[in-house]
């Protein structure tokens, strides 16, 4: 798909691997999502001063960090206290460890599916808060990110693209695109697991980003809420915020 591989999609900056634009995607009614309005990314703690300057030149005005408080403390965000960019810490999970342990204890063909459904069902208020922040962000580009830019970021990206009317095939392709950019990060995480005596093979299952994983999440939303918009309404996102999200992604 040419729109997936668009040259403006991947922002190649020193210190980040998986920083991407949600622009340039066609919608079911023939529109295109706008460039440099909404960015998705991996951890920013290694970004260089050059990278920060580059993001500023791309019009970045807001950053939303989806990581837990412990992750933020361990790897501080460079935009915390930034004079020109609004920073919001909006964790999707307050603490990842209990959730991950519960999922690992279960018997799942794809452990990421219950991980994502836990976010949708148990952390609906947190998801609502993230989307509300994006809806009211000032003009310019808003960037939301987690650690690898895959799971928490992938959930929010899918909800945003679906709200804009981007079709499922494209949402799945955008989700899977992460796999092309985080190979080095995946190996680093697996090596940490090996060094600590953990099960690298089991950990690797959590580092995948196959389309069926996201498809299962979207299927759940359709069954339980009728549509992505239905889910957003059910978690309490205001109609005005839903409209603002569409405007941010689609209007000039």
Catalytic residues, by residue number, are 146
DSSP β-ladder status, 86-89 and 20-21: unpaired
Q: What are phi and psi of 235, to 5 degrees?
A: -90, 5
* Two structure tokens written together for 50: 């050059």
Contact 134, 98 (CB under 8 A): no
Token look-up 């998801």 returns 127
CA distance 25 to 142: 17
* 60-65: strand order across its sheet: 20-21, 38-41, 141-145, 60-65, 86-89
- Comparing C-alpha atoms, which of 140, 128, 124, 125 is closest to residue 38? 140
Q: How many helices (H) and strands (E) are present in the chain, helices listed first?
A: 12, 5
């Amino acid at each position: 798909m040419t729109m997936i591989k668009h040259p403006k999609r991947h922002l190649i900056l020193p210190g980040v691997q998986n920083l991407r634009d949600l622009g340039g995607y066609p919608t079911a009614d023939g529109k295109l999502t706008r460039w440099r309005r909404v960015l998705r990314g991996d951890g920013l703690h290694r970004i260089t001063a050059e990278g920060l300057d580059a993001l500023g030149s791309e019009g970045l005005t807001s950053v939303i960090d989806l990581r837990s408080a412990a992750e933020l403390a361990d790897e501080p965000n460079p935009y915390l206290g930034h004079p020109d960019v609004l920073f919001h810490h909006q964790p999707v999970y307050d603490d990842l460890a209990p959730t991950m342990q519960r999922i690992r204890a279960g018997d799942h063909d794809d452990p990421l599916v219950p991980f994502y459904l836990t976010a949708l069902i148990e952390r609906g208020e947190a998801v609502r808060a993230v989307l509300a922040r994006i809806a009211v962000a000032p003009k310019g580009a808003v960037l939301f990110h987690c650690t690898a830019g895959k799971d928490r970021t992938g959930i929010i990206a899918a909800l945003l693209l679906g709200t804009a009317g981007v079709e499922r095939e494209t949402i799945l392709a955008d989700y899977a695109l992460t796999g092309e950019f985080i190979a080095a990060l995946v190996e680093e995480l697996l090596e940490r697991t090996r060094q600590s005596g953990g099960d690298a093979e089991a950990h690797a299952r959590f580092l995948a980003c196959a389309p069926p994983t996201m498809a299962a999440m979207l299927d759940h939303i359709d069954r339980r809420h009728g549509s992505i918009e239905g889910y957003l309404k059910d978690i309490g996102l205001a109609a005005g915020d839903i409209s603002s999200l569409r405007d941010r992604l689609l209007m000039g």
